[in-house]
Chains A and B, each alone.
Chain A
Amino acid sequence: MKRKKELDILLNGNDEIVETLALRPVLTKKEREKMLEMSKRKLADMKAGFVISDSDNESGDSVRGVEHYNRSIIMRRVMAAAACLVVAGGIAGTAMLMKKNGGSRGVKGDSNIINPAVATTSENDENETNTTIVSTSVNKTTVTSVGTADITGTSSDIQTTSVFIPSTAVNGEVSAEEAALSYMEAFTADDAGHLNIQYALIDMNKDNVPELFISCENQVATENYVCVFDGNQYIDQSPEHGFGGNLMISPENGMFTTSGKYLRTIYAKIGSDNKIEVLDDLASWWEAESESICYWHGNEKITESEYQNIISQYSVYNWTEPEYTFYAEKDGYYIDNAPDLHTDINIDKLIEMGVLPAGDREITVCYGFLDSEADAASTDFLSADSEDFGGVVGGEYSTSSGTISDVYPHYGHGRRFRIRAEIHEGPDNKSYLLAAADVDYATGECKIIENKYPDAVNMHF
């Protein structure tokens, strides 16, 4: 259930209320475009018989896409630590590989051009549609015939057959390689603040059309995106912010896994239908109620041995990191001229002041990002309502640590940040906002702009 909003009273209004609301600007261009694209995809699936229209089936259940899950604020913060290690490893590993391979730019200039899959749909006299999907590769062409449900929706049997014919038989207009580079161009130009963008083309489902794997940073964590080629373009099949953490692949089995400290461990498979199927979704983390590490399979709590048992089933596979090629860093350069930002926190004092509850437990220092364009004099940066643009994790401590000195992990990338130091604890993401600073990593200009507890907290450079 979402947080109650002041104007929730307007929900569930009659047609007149809805029409009045609809007369105002509601959606940004980007949101409209996103939904238009989503609906086109769904329509294409309906036509191909992969998704059942509500007209055909009252349940309206859709079978496309992957199960989404929402990361909590503290998870977003905390997983950055793991993400940084992964990215650092990725960069180092890729750099080594690039050096070893003579600085090859991966697929760019690769002569093994793979032609696109082409789908055609026809309708016969009995009101049945038939879809033929033709995909070509370096060595062969796959033709898949999909006889779908009749339009009136009385049947939903899908017959699939595959044959292989020489690749010269079909010559598409867009190759997967070209489509991948187009996708990467758009992905990089997107104003999502992606950094260290890398990609890899790997045929996971053995349909001779490679899937596009993208790895990048977002100032908070590593994001991994998995895209499939629909014949003309690559389509992202990942959750909204991608798969977090470290992504490993097992191409022999068409599987990939993502995991990381404080992240769920996902095992997924890309099927021959180009859909991602989550095979297992596991979690293990501290639960305050039981004061122990607990384990989940999906939403169901399981025992540690059950958890390990599932993990061990996958350990027999050969997991490797995709061989990524760097595409571009969004702004093309890094300049970090700012000094380190320190936050000295007297935990005892915060407890004495009644800010932090007493009791021995683990706490985490986190750094939230605020709108760096906001006027420093006009906004309260240490209120829970102030805008939050993500953040990174600092150190983990015990409440018995006395005075701690945490250093903001230095990820400036030449940009200007407004950073808020916070203490997070517990599964409810209880947070205590301490102090805020402006740091310009390009010019090195820094300023402490607010300190809520000057007697207990000292933020300095």
Chain B
Amino acid sequence: MTGIEYSALYEKSPDKAYKELFDTYCNYVYTIVYNKIGRIASAEDVEETVSDIFADIFFSYDTDSKYENDMQGYVNTVAKRKAINTYHRLCARASHYSEPDEETFTRLSSDTDIEGDSDRSELQRIILNKIDQLGEPDSTIVLQKFYYDKKSGDIAKLLKMKAPAVRMRCKRAMNRLKELLTEEGISL
């Protein structure tokens, strides 16, 4: 959705513009937020942050602007900034109980570690590639279970499958993924 398309839609109906904006970028924003705060945030915190982001975009976006490009860049910026804010807020809250672990700090400060980031990105790319090799629905099941931390029942709803079938495929797919990664010298 380009900025001009959004503005035109907004002109006709702000409600429809909001719905369209949400439908177009909901997955994208959720993925950004989860990627930033998924390790420390509850599902509710993630959902709260996503809804904050959309409210923020809708509230702040200048509909008079004649932005011709896709709004994804703008959405990306707002989403990342908000997710990082949430990260700091959650860390501050968590610090009442315990310090974030070393790995979390390493990841947070990795902006300046270009070599480390590059290695990490390469590793992530290989893993995603191997997950793709599992084929559907196994690749989605594995990501939902072992990345998004979803329950089999919820994954079943998402993929319109039975929960026991999800559980069974999940176990087998993860074993297969581990085999594929071992061939590349990677262990999870």
Q: Which residues of A contact B (CB under 8 A)?
A: 1-3, 5-22, 24-28, 30-32, 34-36, 38-43, 46-47, 51, 53-55, 58-60, 62, 68, 70, 240, 299, 371, 373-375, 378-379, 387, 389
CA distance A13 to B44 in the complex (A): 22
Collect the chain B residues with CB atoms within 8 Å of residue A6's CB: 146, 174, 188
Q: Which residues of B contact A (CB under 8 A)?
A: 18-19, 22-23, 26-28, 30-32, 35-36, 38-42, 44, 47-48, 50-56, 58-60, 76, 78, 81-82, 85-86, 89, 94, 96-98, 100-101, 104, 107, 110, 117, 120-121, 123-125, 127-128, 139-140, 142-143, 146-149, 151-154, 157-159, 162-164, 167-168, 174, 188
CA distance A415 to B30 in the complex (A): 36
Contact of B51 with A38 in the complex, beta carbons under 8 Å: yes
Contact of B188 with A54 in the complex, beta carbons under 8 Å: no
Collect the chain B residues with CB atoms within 8 Å of residue A68's CB: 44
The binding surface of chain A is classed by DSSP as: loop
Question: Which one of B40, B86, B147 has the highest number of Cβ atoms from chain A below 10 Å of its Cβ?
Answer: B147
What's the nearest-Cβ distance from chain B to residue A296, in Å?
A: 12
Q: Looking across the interface, which residue of chain B has its beta carbon closest to that of A153?
A: B60
Contact of B110 with A12 in the complex, beta carbons under 8 Å: yes
The binding surface of chain B is classed by DSSP as: helix
Contact of B22 with A36 in the complex, beta carbons under 8 Å: yes
Q: Looking across the interface, which residue of chain B has its beta carbon closest to that of A31?
A: B47
Q: Looking across the interface, which residue of chain B has its beta carbon closest to that of A17?
A: B124
CA distance A17 to B122 in the complex (A): 10
Contact of A38 with B48 in the complex, beta carbons under 8 Å: yes
CA distance A25 to B140 in the complex (A): 7
Q: Looking across the interface, which residue of chain B has its beta carbon closest to that of A239?
A: B44
What's the nearest-Cβ distance from chain B to residue A272, in Å?
A: 23
Contact of A12 with B36 in the complex, beta carbons under 8 Å: yes
CA distance A19 to B38 in the complex (A): 16
What's the nearest-Cβ distance from chain B to residue A189, in Å?
A: 16
Residue in B26, B100, B146, B174 whose beta carbon sits within 8 Å of that of A1 in the complex: B100
Collect the chain A residues with CB atoms within 8 Å of residue B98's CB: 1
Report if A26-B30 is in contact (Cβ < 8 Å); known contacts: A1-B101, A10-B147, A12-B107. yes
CA distance A31 to B22 in the complex (A): 12
CA distance A434 to B175 in the complex (A): 27
Which 5 A-B pairs have CB atoms at the shortest separation, nearest pair first? A38-B51, A39-B51, A42-B55, A22-B31, A7-B147
Contact of B50 with A39 in the complex, beta carbons under 8 Å: yes
What's the nearest-Cβ distance from chain A to residue B52, in Å?
A: 6
Residue in A11, A30, A42 whose beta carbon sits within 8 Å of that of B51 in the complex: A42
Contact of B35 with A17 in the complex, beta carbons under 8 Å: yes
Contact of B153 with A5 in the complex, beta carbons under 8 Å: no
Report if A7-B143 is in contact (Cβ < 8 Å); known contacts: A20-B128, A42-B52. yes
Report if A1-B40 is in contact (Cβ < 8 Å); known contacts: A22-B28, A24-B139. yes
Task: Provide 26 A-B residue pairs closer than 8 Å at the C-beta atoms, listed in order of the A residue.
Answer: A1-B94, A1-B100, A1-B101, A2-B41, A5-B146, A7-B127, A8-B38, A11-B38, A13-B35, A13-B121, A15-B76, A17-B125, A19-B28, A21-B128, A22-B31, A24-B139, A32-B22, A36-B51, A39-B51, A39-B53, A43-B58, A47-B59, A54-B60, A299-B97, A371-B153, A371-B163
Question: Which one of A6, A17, A35, A53 has the highest number of Cβ atoms from chain B below 10 Å of its Cβ?
Answer: A35
Contact of A2 with B146 in the complex, beta carbons under 8 Å: no
What's the nearest-Cβ distance from chain A to residue B25, in Å?
A: 9
CA distance A70 to B93 in the complex (A): 14
Q: Looking across the interface, which residue of chain A has its beta carbon closest to that of B121?
A: A14
CA distance A50 to B36 in the complex (A): 27
CA distance A30 to B43 in the complex (A): 14
- Beyond the given A17-B128, A375-B164, please list 8 additional residue pairs across the A-B interface where CB-CB is below 8 A: A5-B147, A35-B50, A39-B22, A39-B50, A43-B58, A373-B162, A374-B163, A378-B164
